[in-house]
Structures are given as C-alpha cells and as structure tokens.
Amino acid sequence: MTFELRQAEISDRFAPSSLTKLAALRFGAPVILGWWQRRETEQALQWLSDRDLADIGVERHEIREVARLQAQVDAMAAKRRAR
C-alpha cells in the first residue's frame, strides 16, 4: 500500500459528514466555553485562603464541584438568554 493511498483512506474516514464546520462550532463552542469557565472558577477559588473560602461557605475539597456547578448554572442562563 502506498503512502498516497493510505493518506486518501485517512482523509475519507475523517471527511466531514453531514455536520458542517459551522454546526461543529455551534455544538463544540459551548463545551469549550464550559470547560474554560470551570477552569477559571476553579483557579480563582484555589487562590483564596481557607478563611476566605469559609466566608463564602466553601471548603477546599469542594472547589472542583463548586466550579462544575457554577459552570452548569452559567450554561443554563446563557441558554435562557439565547431564546
């Protein structure tokens, strides 16, 4: 099997199906945005002292879960605004 034939096989396998690039962005962008927001929230909370975290009712071991829940709330609010 030549390299060119193999390359054509790979191109055919990964060729865009019915999803256009725009549709892929439409469905992929919210996933990336949610990940980014979770990451930013988690990093911001990690920088707080234990006392600051206690003031807002969060313990250090809960940071990841709080960031995940906040990202879900933000995503639901964005969907409501889009309607």
The pLDDT value recorded for residue 75 is: 80
Write out the chain's pLDDT in tens, 83 residues. 555 545 555 555 555 565 677 777 777 777 888 888 899 999 999 999 999 999 999 999 999 999 999 988 888 887 788 77
- What DSSP line would sit under the chain, residue for residue? --HHHHHHHHHHHTS--S--HHHHHHHHHHHHHHHHHHHHHHHHHHHS-HHHHHHTT--GGGHHHHHHHHHHHHHHHHHHHH-
Please give the model's pTM, rounded to 2 decimal places: 0.62
What's the token pair of residue 79?
A: 């969907």
The pLDDT value recorded for residue 12 is: 56
